[in-house]
DNA sequence: CATGGCCGTTGATCCACGTCAACCAAAAAT
DNA sequence: ATTTTTGGTTGACGTGGATCAACGGCCATG
């Protein structure tokens, strides 16, 4: 069945059922018949070049986006110019959920490399959710996962030290690369030290120093944006009992 | 019509349509006919005494909760004992959304005072969402609002200084009290300095000192947990251009 | 293959907040 | 009413990470 469908431009256009990202994306866990209905959902694809915005804070909310290729960052900015990266997103992850509440996007989504997204018109999603059993549930799970992730970041920002934050970040990246079939131990970061710092609530110099320290200690090998994890157990230990031995 | 309905125990039991919190809670924006259907939704009420858990991290997820009276905090804990308050919730706000993603709660919800919640069985919510037009949309908005709120906290934790964080916290509390018909300028905090500190990523001593400083500067009047805001414009200014004048 | 603009690294210094400790007020327990 | 406990304030001091500054290696562009 599957092999008999030739890969054509129109075939590529919107088929969730043909997409190799199903297991990471919105359609996860849905039945074949449900999946085929999903193909109606994705309106179009949209390419976003490196450094370009997928959407901006203040833009009217119309659709959510599934990342088909590439990666993004989201950030919020204060009037005084300060900004904070609120997340990095990889293939299969969903962007734009922040817009539902006020019908206006509340953050900026910027491509870290040339990327492509599937546009999922929100009105159509709500409509189809009424009919397709699994879709509603899956969508709720995606939103809930985002909330849980954010709580994790709050924990990191509120109660971890610089090196712990970076270790947690690296382990998280590794785990997400693994889920996408890439090496768990060796990967290429698409973001700058400054962006990592912003996400982790640190200055870029502190991030750089922490990388160097990890390298000295044999935990990782760093070469610019190329990272090799040499001792993941060591990184994990670093997070857990930084305060160990002091009895508090 | 409304006056003719006697307030009985059974009448009190589950009626969203009779509840004075509709405008803050899940039913917001729904039509009268939709509202009446919602009354099927709320299974029961549950009282939670001060310091008791509504649910714990690891508990199986079965329902979300709308706060009818009182207030809560949610927190996450790391294996090494560190914990982080991820939010404070007031009447009309929804608790438990974190549980949807893994079908297990990922944080603890603890009452800050003797409280009462409406139990909303999640399976029933999903079911009813298929039928009641506005419910699904409103639920999505509630989840999205939580995501936006979390981004705000990340901004606060990642790029604000101690006094800015506390000012933002006080203004946020004020705004939420106002929405509930209480004074914007004078209120009683239900949480300790330590809990505020945990939420803001600060130690309790730092919170206490910031309170004292605000008082010295005539921005607020503090008497233990009782707070009076004397200069909200001043507090707002404090957040915006802390860095002003330095040209960066 | 040269040149200019990022991006990352590293060092020296500073300061905001954490830590440690003493003390006091309020509330709870007896 | 008295003791105990819990929560809050304040001071002295230490430190992790910010700030300021210099430099070096990439990568893009002509």
Task: For residue A147, give the nearest of B80, B146, B240 by CB distance.
Answer: B146
CA of A121 to C1' of C20 (A): 57
CA of B56 to C1' of D7 (A): 25
CA of B104 to C1' of C14 (A): 46
Residues of A in contact with B136 (CB under 8 A): 126, 129-130, 136
Nearest-angstrom CA–CA distance, B153 and B201: 10
CATH tag for A16-132 (out of 3.40.120.10, 2.60.120.10, 3.30.70.2860, 2.102.10.10): 2.60.120.10
Q: How far is A137 from chain B (nearest CA, A)?
A: 7
If you compute the radius of gyration of chain A from its CA atoms, what whole number of angstroms results?
A: 20
B89: left (phi over 0), alpha (psi -120 to 50) or beta: beta
Q: pLDDT at position B5, please? A: 45
Nearest-angstrom CA–CA distance, A210 and A202: 11
Task: For residue B157, give the nearest of A97, A152, A201 by CB distance.
Answer: A201
Contact (CB<8Å) A78/B159: yes
Residues facing residue A53 across a β-bridge: A110
Q: Which two tokens stand for residue A197?
A: 């710092």
Nearest-angstrom CA–CA distance, A229 and A232: 6
In sequence order, the 6+-apart residues with CB closer than 8 A to the CB of A105 are: A55, A56, A57, A58, A59, A60, A61, A96, A98, A99
pLDDT in tens, A95-146: 999 999 999 999 999 999 999 999 999 999 999 999 898 999 999 999 999 9
For B144-202, give the secondary structure using H, E and C: HHHHHHHHHHHHHHHHCCHHHHHHHHHHHHHHHHHHCCCCCCEEECCCCHHHHHHHHCC
Q: How far is B114 from chain A (nearest CA, A)?
A: 25
CA of B46 to C1' of D1 (A): 39
Q: How far is B181 from chain A (nearest CA, A)?
A: 22
Q: pLDDT at position A6, please? A: 43
Structure letter (DSSP) for residue A52: -
- CB distance A164 to A219 below 8 Å: no
Nearest-angstrom CA–CA distance, A202 and A224: 18
Neighbours of B135 (CB within 10 A): 22
Q: What is the torsional sign of CA A150, A151, A153, A154? A: positive
Contact (CB<8Å) A136/B129: yes
Low-confidence ranges of chain B (pLDDT < 70): 1-14, 242-248
Residue B69: what are its φ and ψ, rounded to 5°? -150, 145
Q: pLDDT at position B175, please? A: 98
Residue B18: what are its φ and ψ, rounded to 5°? -100, -5
Q: pLDDT at position A245, please? A: 33
**Order of strands across the sheet with A94-95?**
A44-48, A115-121, A63-69, A94-95
Q: pTM of the entire structure?
A: 0.93
Q: pLDDT at position B40, please? A: 85
Exposure of A110 in the CB half-sphere (CA atoms within 13 A): 17
Nearest-angstrom CA–CA distance, A62 and A100: 9
pLDDT in tens, B40-91: 889 899 999 999 999 999 999 999 999 999 999 999 999 888 999 999 999 9
Q: Which nucleotide is nearest to A203 (CA to C1')?
A: D18
Residues of A in contact with B201 (CB under 8 A): 157-159
Q: For A150-153, which contacts have Cβ atoms below 8 Å and span 24 or more sequence positions?
A: A150/A86, A150/B147, A150/B150, A150/B151, A150/B153, A150/B154, A151/B76, A151/B86, A151/B98, A151/B106, A151/B107, A151/B150, A152/B76, A153/A86, A153/A87, A153/A199, A153/B150, A153/B154
User: Residue A10 above 50 pLDDT?
Assistant: no
User: Residue A248 above 90 pLDDT?
Assistant: no
A194 touches strand C (CB under 7 A): yes
Q: pLDDT at position B118, please? A: 96
Beta strands A83-89 and A94-95, pairing class: unpaired
Angle at B173 between CA B170 and CA B176, to 5 degrees: 150
Residue reference for tokens 């990388």 = A211
Percent with pLDDT over 70 in chain B: 91
Q: pLDDT at position A103, please? A: 98
Domain A160-240 listed as CATH 1.10.10.10: yes
Query: Strand C: which positions are within 7 A of a protein CB?
Result: 7-12, 16-21, 26-27
Q: How far is A95 from chain B (nearest CA, A)?
A: 12
Q: How does the average pLDDT of chain A come out, rounded?
A: 91
Task: For residue A157, give the nearest of B141, B145, B158 by CB distance.
Answer: B158
Residues of A in contact with B144 (CB under 8 A): 97-101, 143
Nearest-angstrom CA–CA distance, A184 and B54: 38
pLDDT in tens, A190-245: 999 999 999 999 999 999 999 999 999 999 999 999 999 999 999 999 998 655 33
Q: pLDDT at position A43, please? A: 82
Domains B16-132 and B160-240 fall in the same CATH topology: no
- What ranges do the domains of chain B cover? 16-132, 160-240
Q: Which nucleotide is nearest to A224 (CA to C1')?
A: C8
pLDDT in tens, B204-219: 999 999 999 999 999 9
pLDDT in tens, A136-153: 999 999 999 999 999 999
Near-strand D residues (CB closer than 7 A): A 161-163, 201-203, 205-206, 224; B 192-194, 204-205, 207-209, 211-212, 222, 224-225, 246, 248
A211 touches strand C (CB under 7 A): yes
Using CA atoms, how far residue A88 sits from A120, A177, B158, in Å, is 20, 12, 15
Task: For residue B107, give the nearest of A151, A199, A244 by CB distance.
Answer: A151
């Amino acid at each position: 069945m599957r092999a008999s469908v030739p890969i054509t431009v129109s075939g590529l256009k919107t088929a969730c059922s043909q997409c190799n990202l199903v297991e990471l994306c919105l359609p996860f866990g849905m039945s074949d018949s449900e999946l085929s209905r999903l193909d109606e959902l994705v309106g179009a694809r949209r390419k976003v070049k490196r450094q370009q915005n997928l959407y901006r804070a203040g833009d009217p909310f119309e659709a959510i986006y599934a990342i088909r290729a590439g990666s993004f960052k989201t950030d919020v900015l204060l009037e005084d110019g300060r900004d904070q990266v609120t997340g990095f997103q990889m293939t299969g992850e969903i962007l734009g959920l922040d817009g539902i509440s006020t019908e206006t996007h509340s953050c900026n989504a910027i491509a870290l490399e040339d990327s492509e997204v599937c546009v999922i018109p929100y009105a159509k999603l709500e409509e189809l959710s009424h009919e397709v059993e699994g879709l509603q549930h899956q969508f709720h799970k995606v939103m809930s996962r985002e909330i849980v992730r954010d709580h994790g970041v709050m924990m990191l920002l509120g109660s971890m030290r610089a090196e712990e934050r970076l270790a947690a970040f690296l382990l998280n990246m590794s785990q997400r690369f693994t889920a996408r079939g890439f090496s768990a131990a060796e990967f290429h970061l698409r973001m700058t030290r400054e962006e990592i710092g912003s996400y982790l609530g640190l200055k870029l110099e502190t991030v750089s120093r922490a990388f160097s320290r990890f390298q000295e200690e044999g935990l990782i090998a760093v070469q610019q944006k190329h990272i090799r994890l040499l001792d993941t157990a060591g990184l994990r230990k670093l997070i857990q009992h930084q305060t160990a031995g002091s009895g508090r």
